[in-house]
Homo-oligomer: A and B are copies of this chain.
Amino acid sequence: MANLDAAFSALADPTRRAILARLALGEATVMELAEPFEMTQPAISRHLKVLEGAGLILRRVQGTKRPCRLAPAAVAEIDQWLAMLRQTLAANYNRLDDVLAEMKPQE
């Protein structure tokens, strides 16, 4: 899945995660999204381009403005991939044998 590269690497940046958190509250324009950051507008525009490329946001055109909102696509893909790990982790968590076996050697 080539898109997982884009999705995870988009989420790796704290500014972009903050933008998504803001969009979780509702649609916002580029300037509205830029406002809380000590960063120029072009920098935000680029972050948005990355998020859009990763399938994490969608944009419409409204006059001069270009409001953004969350997109379900990438999140779904990420969830699906993580499910694989979650399953194993849950299974391991329940294997008490393992836990005990790992505690023994220390003492």
Give the secondary structure class of A's interface.
Answer: helix
A82 to B82, CA, bound (A): 11
* Given known A-B contacts A8-B8, A9-B12, A12-B5, A70 and B82 have beta carbons under 8 A apart: no
Q: How many residues of A contact B (CB 8 A)?
A: 32
One of B8, B21, B23, B93 near A72 (C-beta < 8 A) = B93
Which residues from chain B contact A66 at a C-beta distance below 8 Å? none
- List chain B residues, Cβ under 8 A from A14: 4-5
Q: Name the distance in Å between A9's Cβ and chain B's nearest Cβ.
A: 4
Asked whether, in the complex, the Cβ of B79 is within 8 Å of the Cβ of A82, the reply is: yes
* Min CB gap A74→B, angstroms: 10
> Does A89 reach chain B (CB closer than 8 Å)?
yes
Q: Is the CB of A85 within 8 A of B24?
A: yes
A33 within 8 A of B: no
A residues sitting closer than 8 Å to B (CB atoms) are: 4-5, 8-9, 11-14, 17, 20-21, 23-25, 60, 69-70, 72, 75, 78-79, 81-82, 84-89, 92-93, 102
